[in-house]
């Protein structure tokens, strides 16, 4: 996202939805809305396009949506919690006919009637008792039902859909039977690792199709036969288009981190991929946060999904202590971070900033002061990112500086401390960031650097998650 200009454009004619994306994306018929949601914007049409839209039977919807967007535009980018809750409440009531319920809760993995070799993989991975989302979410997916599941980071959400997929595969058929989409290469590769680990005793063949890797190698592996493909939308669609990945036997389709996928530029690609899948494919939508817009778009390709949702005020991460440091000025952040470095080095820590350029700047500043840090962001080539993440997972690197690239789904279980050097620009991303610490019930600490300009965002975060973020005490090392 960093270094590129955000654009909003209209996707026509299937759903009349606005989307945000990076770079030079264009709409299905080319009409571009310039600007950002929450700021003023203009709409440009050629005369031919306008006539086409005016004559379209849904033109009243098109005009209504534009007027609604204009009317709801506000200054700034702060989250409107009241509007979010109103939309969510509307979905709860209005969506009753669309959704179904599944009330069974399973207190143990043994009670779920999973294959014995899948259970062996689950226990070998380190799970002992299913988390709340696993207690409610694994079995309906295993039964072939469409599901929308929301759970906070670090609660075993990935293992939920991996278990559901592994339970249903026909291991005698070496054709792709399950397709999982993720918004980043790192997350796709992490899902691949979890799938392979849980299916270790089942002989599952899984492959990650992601950008930045060899197309020819993807084609070779896919032609040899796999049971599951995990990938990013661009590379997966390319493989489907080339027919290197055949959709004939795909019976399960999962969107992980759906809020990221559906709100930041992947709507069209997801829809294009879905069009190529068999008509009766099972669909699973999984995410840590589930904004109303993400729920709305699932209606177009889900059939009576089981809905397992968490209310906004239930999203707080238990076990993670959250603090702020009042640094007042941006230029004082660096000194504050250096003061904390000895504490950082005690454990594994992640430091979040908002741009790739700032990752490089902060890394150079820390190293110039003889502090050992590593860094990763989206401008680095895939091989370099893989090496850095491998070192961090192994513990040979202990302090990692990054952007929101790492904020979703990267499971480094030893992380105990997250520092928001920059507060996230949207409250929803706060959950993904601090969820890097305290994984699976471990203790964790999140420290937020706050300048005067950040006061409103920190207030919004506390209101959004219904939490109190306290000032950092002097004995921070004792908290880890």
Q: Is the pLDDT of residue 253 over 90?
A: yes
Closest to 435 (Cα-Cα) out of 232, 181, 257? 257
Helix (H, G, I), strand (E, B) or coil at 71: helix
pTM (2 d.p.): 0.59
> Are β-strands 252-256 and 282-287 bridged in parallel, bridged antiparallel, or unpaired?
parallel
Q: Say yes or no: domain 320-479 is CATH 3.30.1330.80.
A: no
The residues of the chain that CATH labels 3.40.50.300 are 94-313, 320-479
pLDDT of 360 > 90? The answer is yes
The label of the residue with tokens 């997801």 reads: 270
CATH for 94-313? 3.40.50.300
- Cβ–Cβ under 8 Å, residues 325 and 188: no
Model pLDDT for residues 75-109, shown as the tens digit of each residue: 334 455 565 555 555 545 444 555 666 778 898 99
Nearest 5°: the CA angle 157, 262, 39 is: 125
Residue 311 has pLDDT above 70, yes or no: no
Beta-ladder partners of 18: 10
Strand order in the sheet with 17-22: 17-22, 6-11, 32-34, 42-43
- Please compute the mean of the pLDDT values over residues 297-310 and round it to a whole number: 77
pLDDT surpassing 60 at residue 54: no
Taking 90 as the threshold, does the pLDDT of residue 437 lie above it? no
The band of 297, judged by pLDDT with boundaries at 50, 70 and 90, is low
Q: Tens digits of per-residue pLDDT, 139-162? A: 999 999 999 887 666 667 889 999
- Tell me whether the omega of the peptide bond preceding residue 248 falls within 30 degrees of 0, making it cis: no
Residues in CB range of 65: below 8 A, 6 or more apart: 16, 18
DSSP class of residue 473? P
Local structure of 237: helix, strand or coil: helix
Angle at alpha carbon of residue 450, lines to 447 and 452, rounded to 5°: 170
**Residue 321: per-residue pLDDT:** 87
Kindly indicate the confidence band of residue 316, based on its pLDDT and cuts at 50, 70 and 90: low
Kind plus residue range of the DSSP H or E element containing 275: helix 267-275
The pLDDT assigned to 215 comes to 93
Burial 172-187 (b: 16+ CB within 10 A, else e): eeeebbbbbbbbbbbb
Choose among 97, 281, 62, 96: nearest CA to 181: 281
What tokens were used for 479?
A: 């908290």
What sign does the CA torsion over 293, 148, 405, 459 have?
positive
CA distances 34 to 22, 27, 39, 102, Å, are 12, 12, 10, 43
The mean pLDDT value for 239-262 works out to: 91
149: β partners: 286, 308
Write out the H or E segment, with its range, that includes residue 429. helix 427-434
- Please report which residue ranges of 95-184 form alpha helices under DSSP H: 116-125, 132-142, 157-168
Is 190 within 8 Å of 204 (Cβ atoms)?
Answer: no
| pLDDT computed for residue 304 by the predictor | 84
Which pLDDT band, with edges at 50, 70 and 90, does 413 fall under? low
Using alpha carbons, select from 212, 147, 156, 220 the residue that is nearest to residue 186: 212
C-alpha–C-alpha distance, residues 194 and 181, integer Å: 14
Tell me the longest C-alpha to C-alpha distance in the chain. Answer: 68
- Cα–Cα distance for residue pair 149/138, rounded to 1 Å: 10
- Residue 38 pLDDT more than 70? no
Q: Are 208 and 189 in contact (CB under 8 A)?
A: yes
* Adjacent-strand bridge partners of 449: 325
Q: How many CA atoms lie within 13 A of 65 on its CB side?
A: 18
pLDDT of residue 53: 42
The average pLDDT across 179-193 equals 91
* Tokens 């949702």 sit on residue: 309
Q: Which two tokens stand for residue 214?
A: 């060899």
Q: Which of 422, 399, 408 is nearest to 342 (CA)?
A: 399
Most trustworthy range by pLDDT among 28-37, 44-53, 220-229, 436-445? 220-229
Residue 318: strand, helix, or coil: coil
Average pLDDT over residues 180-184: 92
d(CA 333, CA 453): 13
Q: Decide if pLDDT at 334 tops 90.
A: yes
Q: Which run of H or E residues covers position 24? A: none
Element (H, E) at 283: strand 282-287
The DSSP H or E segment spanning 228 is: strand 228-231
Instruction: Write down how long the chain is.
Output: 480
């Amino acid at each position: 996202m960093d270094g590129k200009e955000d654009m909003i454009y209209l996707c026509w004619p299937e759903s009349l939805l606005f989307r945000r994306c990076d770079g030079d994306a264009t709409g299905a018929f080319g009409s571009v809305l310039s600007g950002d949601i929450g700021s003023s914007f203009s709409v440009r049409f050629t005369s031919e396009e306008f006539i086409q839209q005016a004559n379209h039977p849904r033109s009243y919807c098109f005009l209504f949506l534009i007027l609604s967007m204009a009317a709801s535009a506000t200054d700034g980018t702060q989250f409107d919690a009241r509007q979010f809750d109103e939309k969510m409440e509307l979905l709860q009531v209005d969506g009753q006919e669309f959704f179904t319920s599944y009330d069974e809760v399973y207190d143990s993995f043994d009670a779920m009637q999973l294959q014995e070799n899948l259970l062996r993989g689950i226990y070998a991975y380190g799970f002992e008792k299913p988390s709340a989302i696993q207690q409610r979410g694994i079995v309906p997916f295993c039964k072939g039902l469409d599901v929308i599941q929301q759970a906070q980071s670090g609660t075993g959400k990935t293992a939920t859909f991996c278990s559901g997929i592994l339970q249903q595969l026909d291991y005698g058929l070496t054709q792709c039977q399950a397709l999982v989409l993720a918004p980043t290469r790192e997350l796709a590769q992490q899902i691949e690792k979890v799938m392979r680990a849980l299916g270790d005793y089942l002989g599952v063949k899984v492959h990650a199709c992601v950008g930045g890797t060899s197309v020819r190698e993807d084609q070779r592996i896919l032609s040899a036969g796999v049971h599951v493909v995990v990938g990013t939308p661009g590379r997966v669609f390319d493989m489907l288009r080339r027919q290197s990945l055949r959709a004939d036997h795909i019976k399960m389709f999962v969107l992980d981190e759906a809020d990221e996928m559906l709100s930041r530029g992947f709507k069209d690609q997801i829809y294009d991929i879905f069009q190529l899948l068999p008509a009766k494919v099972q669909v699973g939508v999984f995410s840590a946060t589930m904004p109303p817009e993400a729920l709305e778009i699932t209606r177009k390709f889900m059939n009576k999904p089981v809905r397992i949702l968490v209310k906004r005020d239930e999203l707080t991460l238990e076990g993670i202590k959250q603090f702020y440091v009042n640094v007042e000025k941006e230029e004082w952040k660096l000194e504050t971070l250096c003061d904390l470095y000895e504490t950082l080095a005690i454990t594994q820590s992640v430091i979040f900033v908002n741009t790739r350029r700032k990752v490089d700047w902060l890394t150079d500043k820390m190293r110039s002061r003889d502090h050992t840090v590593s860094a990763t962001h989206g401008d680095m080539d895939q091989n370099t990112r893989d090496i850095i993440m491998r070192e961090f997972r192994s513990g040979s690197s202990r302090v990692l500086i990054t952007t929101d690239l790492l904020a979703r789904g990267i499971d480094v279980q030893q992380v105990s401390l997250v520092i928001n050097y920059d507060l996230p620009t949207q409250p929803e991303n706060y959950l993904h960031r601090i969820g890097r610490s305290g994984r699976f019930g471990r203790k964790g600490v999140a420290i937020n650097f706050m300048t005067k300009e950040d006061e409103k965002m920190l207030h919004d975060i506390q209101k959004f998650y219904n939490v109190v973020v306290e000032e950092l005490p002097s004995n921070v090392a004792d908290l880890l």
